[in-house]
Structure 1
Amino acid sequence: MSPADLADAIVAAVGRAVADGDLDVPVPTTVTVERPKNPEHGDYASPVALQLAKAARRPPRAVAELLAARLAAAEGIARVDIAGPGFLNITLVGAALGEVARRVVRAGASYGHAEKPRDVRINLEFVSANPTGPVTLASARWAAVGDALVRILTAAGYSVGGEYYVNDAGVQISRFGASVLAAAAGREIPAEGYHGAYVAEIATTVLAERPDLLELPGDEALAVAAQRGLTLMLGEIRSTLESFGVHFDTWASEKALHDAGGLERAVEDLRAQGHVFDADGAVWLRTTDFGDDKDRVLIKSDGQGTYFCADAAYYRDKRGRGFDRVIYLLGADHHGYIGRLRAISACFGDDPDVNLEVIIGQMVTLTRGGEPVKMSKRAGTFLTLHDLVDAVGVDAARYSLVRQSHDSSLELNLDLIARQTSENPVFYVQYAHARISSLLRGAEALGLTLSPEGADVALLTHPREGDLLRALGEFPRVIESAASLRGPHRVARYLEELAGVYHRFYDVCRVLPQGDEPAGPLTDARLLLAAATQLVLSNGLALLGVSAPDRM
């Protein structure tokens, strides 16, 4: 019996109490079920009686007594005790708890995932750095977190589209083109331009493709340098992210939005909603009606659309593609975007609390030998994703970038996350998976066959076996929590806990027979438990985009 099954049993008990006239409360659709910190308090606990007491107009313990009597009669439950002000402490029969292992192995790669799809389409935009330089260390964090969120939300039953917004329109593209052109001509790059060895590399490639570049008229040379340089840089960004295991369903172009008349149509729609006004020769959006700190210009007096207008058009475009909820994962310097994006959503007639979400992530820094790592050899002034991967590898980089909540600053110790010891969290988790793989290979060498249906899971009665089974049963709840709270770090911390629980189990519960000792029913049951743990570790690492090695 998993926590989800137990939650259903508690809801059913409430329903029976209501039907019998003993409780007058709305029957909840779900209830909280958690593992008690002290194993002596049972396998699971629920505060449902405390949550229902006010509506029932009864003391929590009185509600708990009504539910305990009905819950104790449910299949798979050995005992229900009432603790403190009204907590239900629930102990399962041995076979019911052991069934968790069988359920995990039966489900395989789908264990922990939502059984039914949700009728919600989510667009998750992340990274979206200007295509004028390599992927920075800050963007690397958003890449790891954003991709993990896509995977976790998908596992939770949502239909999710990951998206990269290419800012290929605006003054930064002209400055990039001027930088490439200056590098190609051997001139000093303009002060407001882009610096670093990568600019010279791009210039060399562009010049090789267009030997006549420096002979072209000024505007034409600038256009060629900008467009070809942009294509090369964007290609490198794509390649870098792909090699990091980050895949986008859509690469949306700002320039394409401009060219297709997206800005004009957005202004028309906003005007039709009654929120546009004209003043000082410009076109404005009255965003202060919806909590913004000031009204925003959509079209300047020279007829050019503003960045804000492009933001509005892009939001409209996402909603027009059928996404119910639009999520932006933005960097720490984008707090000001929250109010204006919420205002844009409201001005289009949407509910910002339903259709929009803005997640702000914090910065990341690197240290080595106790000293900060400050500069990239190639980028010159900032650290890149390449720098991090070169130092520690993809798995350690991805895991380390998601392990801490994105809303707090992150300092990565390169010495630690490159270390092949249990002090390194990603190694600790991956080693648990590899250790189980070795165990299963050993079982195969002894001629033992994993038997999910034939194993007698009622034999899994050792306290460490119970700890491991309860930890495995938590995985669906962890995915749901990580999805609803937008916290992939919750999966990472769970995996570390699970790895620790497995190591403690393995230290005291011998799985394979030794010497001439014959294998017995307990061997089969423990092999099933080990295989279930391996699957959950693999499934959890996959949600983070991290490999689950069989050998280390």
Structure 2
Amino acid sequence: MTPAELSRTVLRAVRRAVDDGELDAAVCAAGEERIVVERPRAGGQGDYATNVALQLARPAGRPPRQVAEILSRRLGESPGIDGVVVTGPGFLNFRLSESASASASGALVAEILSAGERYGFVEAGAEAASSGQQVVQLHAPNEVRALVVMDSVARLLRSQGVVVRTSCAGRPRPEWVDVLGVHVDASGSDPVDVNVRPVPAPSDPLPLGRDAARWALLHPAGHDRPRIGDDEHEHLAQRESNPLFRVRYAHARTHALTHNAADLGFTGDPTGTADPTGRTEDVPGQEDLVAALADHPRILRAAAAQHAPDRLARHLVGVADTFMASLCPAVLPQGEEKPSAAHRSRLALAEAVGTVLAGGLTLLGIDAPEHL
């Protein structure tokens, strides 16, 4: 059961509660909006969670926790759900059955591979533009870090279906455009919705080149001073102390695993259908890796809403580190071992990791090479 399938299950529970007279019909219109199901945050329980009860409380005219209790009784009867727990002010936490959990992991990987680097995107940009949706105006001072951050924020907002226009207080230096890939729609001081003003770069990042310079400017939070000029070599070093290297190395490893698996005569299979029993074996840390991939759409939404590309950068480091420590060594058969359903499933998961890393780096304006 995937998050999308769980969302539909929750919507059906809302409709049943309305049909049974336990919730006002007004909640149906609110419920028709996208119901977000994601991995539980700190303090949550189970495999997935949703805040739909908090969204429906006002139209229902009831406290959020009461709405959650009404929905939990119906959701607990749904196939594939072992239990539902209400936490906090009214969060619904789902515990999936073992078979549903395994199915959800495979379906998630299949979803990522199908969506490609656009996994987590909201396909609403063209529709929103044609419907006359208000354009979000981003404005930045004519300073290199502000422009790089604004460029990435614009990419993140567009990935979430937002129509964005950017402006700068003055004309950016040509090398910022040519080397760092900064794009600004206009210069001047028109009325704006969002002023992008991170702590300025302490020195010129251009000697680092596009990828390392953008990472050095984007990885720290906007209120933190980027480390440029302290030790330029740390941003270019191909070693574990460099987080950008770890992310790009993990991405390159996923491609190497695909090529090596092809040499051994097998390909990835996210659903486990290559094995009639459907059984695969997880490796330690694999569940955390799947959870991080499932969390990617939420990270994109949060990074866009908070105008914080550093959140995405840190998420990519976490995905890369978890992949290298858990799944990467177990994807290919060892010694005389033959490729099994577990290897095919792990390879598909590794390819999903590569897809998420590549898509995230692209939103930061950074290249994701297949070879390092």
TM range (shorter): 0.7 to 0.9
For 1:550, give the aligned amino acid: E
Do 2:124 and 2:162's aligned partners in 1 also have CA atoms closer than 8 Å?
Answer: no
Residue 238 of structure 1 and its aligned partner are, at CA, apart by: 2.3
The superposition leaves residues 290-333 of structure 1 with CA deviations (integer Å, 9 ceiling, x where unpaired) of xxxxxxxxxxxxxxxxxxxxx4xxx3xxxxxxxxxxxxxxxxxx
The answer as to 2:261 corresponding to 1:446 is no
Q: Which residue of 2 aligns with 1:491?
A: 312
The superposition leaves residues 2-23 of structure 1 with CA deviations (integer Å, 9 ceiling, x where unpaired) of 4454344323322321222122
For 1:108, give the aligned amino acid: G
Residue 469 of structure 1 and its aligned partner are, at CA, apart by: 1.9
Partner of 1:91: helix, strand, or coil? strand
CA distance in structure 2 between the partners assigned to 1:497 and 1:98 by the alignment: 21
Residue 30 of structure 1 and its aligned partner are, at CA, apart by: 4.1
Do 1:13 and 1:67's aligned partners in 2 also have CA atoms closer than 8 Å?
Answer: yes
CA distance in structure 2 between the partners assigned to 1:460 and 1:79 by the alignment: 24
The superposition leaves residues 200-247 of structure 1 with CA deviations (integer Å, 9 ceiling, x where unpaired) of xxxxxxxxxxxxxxxxxxxxxxxxxxxxxxxxxx7xx22442221223
Q: How does 1:304-453 map to 2 (within 5 A)?
A: 311=189, 315=190, 341=191, 356-366=192-202, 383-384=203-204, 388-390=205-207, 392-406=208-222, 408-412=223-227, 414-415=230-231, 416-451=234-269
CA distance in structure 1 between the partners assigned to 2:118 and 2:257 by the alignment: 23
Q: Mark the structure with the bigger radius of gyration.
A: 1
For 1:98, give the aligned amino acid: G
Q: Which residue of 2 aligns with 1:140?
A: 144
Do 2:149 and 2:217's aligned partners in 1 also have CA atoms closer than 8 Å?
Answer: yes
Do 1:396 and 1:417's aligned partners in 2 also have CA atoms closer than 8 Å?
Answer: yes
Structure 2 gaps of 5+ residues are none
Do 2:145 and 2:201's aligned partners in 1 also have CA atoms closer than 8 Å?
Answer: no
CA distance in structure 2 between the partners assigned to 1:39 and 1:462 by the alignment: 25
Distance 1:75 1:471, change over 3 A: farther
Do 1:95 and 1:458's aligned partners in 2 also have CA atoms closer than 8 Å?
Answer: no
For 2:149, give the aligned amino acid: V
Residue 122 of structure 1 and its aligned partner are, at CA, apart by: 3.1
CA distance in structure 1 between the partners assigned to 2:303 and 2:253 by the alignment: 27
Distance 1:411 1:84, change over 3 A: closer
Do 2:106 and 2:270's aligned partners in 1 also have CA atoms closer than 8 Å?
Answer: no
What TM-score results when the alignment is normalised by the length of structure 2? 0.81
Distance 1:363 1:39, change over 3 A: closer
The answer as to 2:66 corresponding to 1:246 is no
Distance 1:39 1:56, change over 3 A: closer
2:112 maps to which of 104, 109, 113: 104
The answer as to 2:123 corresponding to 1:115 is yes
Residue 71 of structure 1 and its aligned partner are, at CA, apart by: 2.0
What TM-score results when the alignment is normalised by the length of structure 1? 0.57
CA distance in structure 1 between the partners assigned to 2:307 and 2:5 by the alignment: 24
Residue 161 of structure 1 and its aligned partner are, at CA, apart by: 4.0
CA distance in structure 2 between the partners assigned to 1:113 and 1:51 by the alignment: 22
Distance 1:53 1:126, change over 3 A: closer
Q: May I ask how many residue pairs the two structures share in their alignment?
A: 353
The answer as to 2:302 corresponding to 1:481 is yes
For 2:120, give the aligned amino acid: G
CA distance in structure 1 between the partners assigned to 2:53 and 2:123 by the alignment: 27
CA distance in structure 1 between the partners assigned to 2:134 and 2:263 by the alignment: 47
Partner of 1:90: helix, strand, or coil? strand
CA distance in structure 1 between the partners assigned to 2:53 and 2:137 by the alignment: 38
CA distance in structure 2 between the partners assigned to 1:461 and 1:79 by the alignment: 23
Partner of 2:21: helix, strand, or coil? coil
The answer as to 2:350 corresponding to 1:514 is no
Do 1:33 and 1:46's aligned partners in 2 also have CA atoms closer than 8 Å?
Answer: yes
Do 1:96 and 1:458's aligned partners in 2 also have CA atoms closer than 8 Å?
Answer: no
Partner of 2:268: helix, strand, or coil? coil
Q: Which residue of 1 aligns with 2:27?
A: 26
The superposition leaves residues 106-140 of structure 1 with CA deviations (integer Å, 9 ceiling, x where unpaired) of 111222211333343636555563xxxxxxxxx12
Do 1:364 and 1:409's aligned partners in 2 also have CA atoms closer than 8 Å?
Answer: no
Q: Which residue of 2 aligns with 1:220?
A: none
Distance 1:514 1:473, change over 3 A: same
